[in-house]
């Protein structure tokens, strides 16, 4: 990894307390000289001040404050674009709420190297297939159901389609930065997975231990499940063009 340029992407919206928990955990990693890219949707909880004052000898923090409209999909597209511009070798995506442990990152990076995959997913299968006391029963059922229909509709041979803990190769970053991604919200998770699959890139899974968010609340509603289901169906239609523009260049 010493010769690889690594960028870690964290999408944020009022996650200062979780960043206070998360960033010190990156200090303990057996990695150095990497970039943490925070794409922020105009947080008003002091996130910007905290990040601009944080100092580390192991990594560099880059903060991008996005103008409206806000949304996980817009943040993801911005991250792919920046990663391609910076010519990073590996882009890591993870949630900023503390549910993804930085200590698991070396295992994902190892999986990317050993499998020669373009996308390695941190799979929560072992957590979701048993009683997970940090989630409500309804939340757990919704996650299992959405994973099932995403696999069925998108035709991907991946168990955990919903996880946001992922490692992308440089080739995958190039593809995704040029692709006509349309998802505005969290359903970009499914869209990106399908685009990589659609272009016959290799996808691998590495088991991780998943945690509930450290601070704040994540609201998952049945309405979100229905929207994600509809989005998966649309991805299989001509409306959803997955190919990069013919004029795109490296």
Predicted TM-score of the model (pTM): 0.90
Q: Is the pLDDT of residue 247 over 50?
A: no
**Residue of higher predicted confidence among 209 and 78:** 78
pLDDT at 138: 66
Whether residue 82 has pLDDT greater than 70:
yes
Distance separating alpha carbons of residues 190 and 233, to the nearest angstrom: 11
Position 130 scores a pLDDT of 55
Residue 141: the pLDDT is: 74
Residue bearing the bigger pLDDT, 136 or 68: 68
Residue 75 pLDDT greater than 50, yes or no? yes
Strands 34-40 and 59-65: parallel
User: In whole angstroms, how far apart are CA 215 and each of 105, 172, 191?
Assistant: 21, 32, 28
Phi, psi of 3 (to 5 degrees): -95, 5
- Alpha helices in the chain, H assignment, sequence order: 16-26, 47-53, 72-85, 105-115, 125-128, 137-154, 170-178, 188-198, 222-235
Q: Where are the alpha helices (DSSP H) in 134-221?
A: 137-154, 170-178, 188-198
What's the average model confidence in pLDDT over 128-137? 56
DSSP 3-state of 46 = coil
Tell me: pLDDT of 195 over 80.
yes
**Tell me, what's the pLDDT at 221?**
65
């Amino acid at each position: 990894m010493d010769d690889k340029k690594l960028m870690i992407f964290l999408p944020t919206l009022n996650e200062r307390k979780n960043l206070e928990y998360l960033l010190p955990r990156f200090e303990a990693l057996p990695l150095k000289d990497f970039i943490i890219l925070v794409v922020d949707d105009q947080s008003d909880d002091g996130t910007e001040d905290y990040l601009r004052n944080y100092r580390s000898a192991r990594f560099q923090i880059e903060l991008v404050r996005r103008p409206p409209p806000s949304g996980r999909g817009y943040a993801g597209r911005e991250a792919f674009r920046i990663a391609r511009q910076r010519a990073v070798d590996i882009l890591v995506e993870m949630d900023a709420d503390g549910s993804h442990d930085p200590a698991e990152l070396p295992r994902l990076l190892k999986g990317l190297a050993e499998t020669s995959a373009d996308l390695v997913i941190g799979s929560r299968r072992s957590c979701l297939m048993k009683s997970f006391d940090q989630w409500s029963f309804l939340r757990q059922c919704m996650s299992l159901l959405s994973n099932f229909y995403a696999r069925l509709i998108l035709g991907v041979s991946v168990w955990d389609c919903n996880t946001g803990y992922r490692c992308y190769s440089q080739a995958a970053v190039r593809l995704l930065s040029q692709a006509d991604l349309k998802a505005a919200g969290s359903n970009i998770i499914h869209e990106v997975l399908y685009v990589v699959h659609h272009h016959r890139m290799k996808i691998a899974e590495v088991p991780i231990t998943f945690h509930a968010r450290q601070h704040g609340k994540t609201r998952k509603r049945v309405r979100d499940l229905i929207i994600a289901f509809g989005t998966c169906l649309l991805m299989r239609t001509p409306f959803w063009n997955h190919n990069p523009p013919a004029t795109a260049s490296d």
